């Protein structure tokens, strides 16, 4: 008896219609190798979501990939050749081409791999079933580990034994919550066995570098609505392991207010709502990120109006501070507040030294500073005449 028809991606899926991608896939196949699109691009296509990176998996070893690229006149860069990855540039478009692999040894942070010719072995070393989907150049989906039903149901599930997958790389704990925030349906619930497995391996988070934790946390906080994921992280002890002192009290109101004013997610501003101890060091934030975080938190505790916030901090950081204060005070906001912050960001203080010809030196500086404070306190409503009359 014939089995069910294979699942096929829509013909207008961007990477299926891309000439450069198709040329590379065809060249690999013409040389006698298997070539499949893999990972995020296939997962997102199955879910009807846009995909950014287009990765290719093959049974060709890296040197064979480079030889095929050279024959076709394409640039081949051995970006991760020891791990089986070659970047091939076709028509100015880079593609990461990685040989099928299997894990030889893992230590919770990195893996020793060997090349494989078996797609099932390659799939088994990935993290979640929805990421172990492959598609040929005609759009037929290959699903060696039954991940297709999970992707269609928006269900994030570890491949096979979650304990083993987590022990292979403890960052997968944070990746689980990030993927849940982006891809899981809000009413799907949380699998108790999966959460138990995560809770059993919290100590492994201590082995991860701040850079890896920070990058993953900021990706998580960039999700359209990370509140559910962050709440579960807090309940089972993950959040305090990676961000001691953080509190989920404000993150829900903060995200809700973002949505009320039509603001795109900003992970650093959301991080300001979470708080925590030694956040800069624990997440290894850049200096720019540190300054932004400090500004949002500091000015979120002041009473300046939205225009003044925008003038002091710029539109993005100013808006973050306005949102944080509203979340703290449990006050509503309307979309109009964005216009006020943006107007403030473009406003110019109406007083200059030439308006105070009778003053000079430190006295002039102090007077200008006082006048600006008065202007900011009025939320930029006082005119030059009003200010000079005080």
- Mind listing the pLDDT tens digit for each residue in 126-138? 999 999 999 999 9
Task: Assess whether pLDDT exceeds 90 at residue 152.
Answer: yes
Q: How far apart are CA 312 and CA 299, in angstroms?
A: 9
- Show the tokens assigned to 267: 């992970």
Q: How far apart are CA 147 and CA 220, in angstroms?
A: 22
Task: Assess whether pLDDT exceeds 70 at residue 104.
Answer: no
Task: Assess whether pLDDT exceeds 60 at residue 107.
Answer: no
- Show the tokens assigned to 336: 């109009």
Per-residue pLDDT band at 157 (split at 50, 70, 90): very high
pLDDT given at position 110: 61
pLDDT given at position 186: 76
Q: What's the mean pLDDT in 350-377?
A: 94
Per-residue pLDDT band at 109 (split at 50, 70, 90): low
Per-residue pLDDT band at 117 (split at 50, 70, 90): confident
Task: Assess whether pLDDT exceeds 60 at residue 3.
Answer: no
Q: What's the mean pLDDT in 365-371?
A: 95
Residues 6 or more apart in contact with residue 36 via CB below 8 angstroms: 56, 57, 58, 119, 134, 135, 136, 142
pLDDT digits (tens, 9 = 90+) for 185-242: 877 779 999 999 999 999 999 999 999 999 999 999 999 999 999 999 999 999 999 9
Is residue 350 within 8 Å of 387, Cβ to Cβ? yes
pLDDT given at position 4: 66
Helix axis angle, 267-274 relative to 210-221, nearest 10°? 100
Per-residue pLDDT band at 390 (split at 50, 70, 90): confident
- In the chain, beta strands by DSSP E: 35-38, 55-58, 75-80, 85-90, 93-99, 101-106, 111-115, 134-135, 141-142
pLDDT digits (tens, 9 = 90+) for 69-101: 999 999 999 988 888 999 999 999 999 999 998
**Phi/psi at 332 (nearest 5 deg)?**
-75, 160
Q: What is the DSSP letter of 263?
A: P
Count of Cβ atoms closer than 10 Å to residue 98 Cβ: 22
Rounded to two decimals, what is the model's pTM?
A: 0.90
Nearest to 239 by CA among 192, 207, 271: 271
Question: Does domain 160-242 match CATH 3.40.50.1100?
Answer: no
Question: What is the residue-averaged pLDDT of the chain?
Answer: 94
Homologous superfamily of 1-153 in CATH?
Beta Polymerase, domain 2 (3.30.460.10)
Q: What's the mean pLDDT in 177-190?
A: 89
pLDDT digits (tens, 9 = 90+) for 238-283: 999 999 999 999 999 999 999 999 999 999 999 999 999 999 999 9
Domain boundaries, the chain: 1-153, 160-242, 244-347, 353-388
Q: What's the mean pLDDT in 4-22?
A: 92
pLDDT digits (tens, 9 = 90+) for 23-41: 999 999 999 999 999 999 9
**Phi/psi at 201 (nearest 5 deg)?**
-125, 25
Is residue 342 within 8 Å of 379, Cβ to Cβ? no
Per-residue pLDDT band at 52 (split at 50, 70, 90): confident
Per-residue pLDDT band at 350 (split at 50, 70, 90): very high
pLDDT given at position 1: 41
Q: What's the mean pLDDT in 341-370?
A: 94
Question: Cα dihedral sign for 53, 54, 59, 62?
Answer: negative
Percent of the chain with pLDDT over 90: 88
Q: What angle do CA 217, 221, 222 make, to 5 degrees?
A: 120
Q: How far apart are CA 77 and CA 350, in angstroms?
A: 56
Residues 6 or more apart in contact with residue 58 via CB below 8 angstroms: 28, 33, 34, 35, 36, 65, 97, 98, 99, 100
């Amino acid at each position: 008896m014939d089995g069910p028809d294979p699942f096929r991606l829509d013909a207008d899926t961007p990477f299926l219609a891309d000439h450069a991608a198709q040329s590379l896939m065809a060249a690999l196949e013409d040389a006698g190798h298997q070539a499949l699109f893999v990972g995020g691009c296939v997962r997102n296509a199955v879910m009807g979501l846009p995909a950014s990176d287009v990765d290719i998996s093959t049974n060709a070893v890296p040197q064979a990939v480079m030889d095929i690229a050279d024959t076709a006149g394409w640039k081949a860069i051995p970006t991760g050749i020891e791990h089986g990855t070659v970047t091939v540039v076709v028509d100015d478009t880079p593609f990461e081409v990685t040989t099928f692999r299997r894990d030889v040894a893992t230590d919770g942070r990195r893996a020793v791999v060997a090349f494989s010719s078996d797609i099932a072995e390659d799939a088994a070393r990935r993290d979640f079933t929805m990421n172990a989907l492959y598609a040929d150049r005609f759009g037929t989906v290959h699903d060696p580990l039954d991940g297709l039903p999970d992707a269609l149901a928006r269900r994030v599930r570890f491949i096979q034994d979650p304990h083993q997958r987590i022990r292979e790389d403890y960052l997968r704990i944070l990746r689980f919550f990030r993927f849940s925030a982006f891809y899981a349906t809000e009413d799907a619930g949380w699998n108790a066995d999966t959460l138990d497995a995560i809770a059993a391996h919290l100590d492994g988070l201590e082995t991860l570098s701040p850079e890896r934790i920070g990058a993953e946390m900021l990706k998580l906080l960039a999700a359209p609505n990370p509140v559910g994921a962050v709440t579960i992280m807090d309940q089972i002890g993950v959040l305090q392991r990676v961000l001691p002192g953080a509190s989920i009290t404000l993150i829900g109101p903060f995200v809700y207010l973002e949505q009320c004013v039509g603001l795109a997610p900003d992970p650093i501003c959301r991080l300001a709502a979470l708080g925590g101890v030694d956040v800069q060091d624990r997440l290894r934030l850049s200096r720019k990120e540190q300054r932004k975080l400090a500004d949002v938190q500091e000015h979120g505790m002041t009473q300046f109006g939205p225009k003044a916030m925008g003038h002091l901090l710029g539109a993005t950081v100013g808006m973050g501070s306005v949102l944080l204060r509203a979340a703290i005070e449990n006050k509503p906001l309307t979309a109009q507040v964005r216009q006020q912050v943006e107007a403030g960001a473009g406003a110019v203080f109406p007083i200059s030294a030439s308006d105070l010809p009778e003053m000079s030196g430190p006295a002039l500086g102090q007077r200008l500073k006082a006048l600006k404070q008065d202007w900011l306190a009025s939320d930029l409503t006082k005119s030059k005449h009003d200010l000079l009359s005080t």
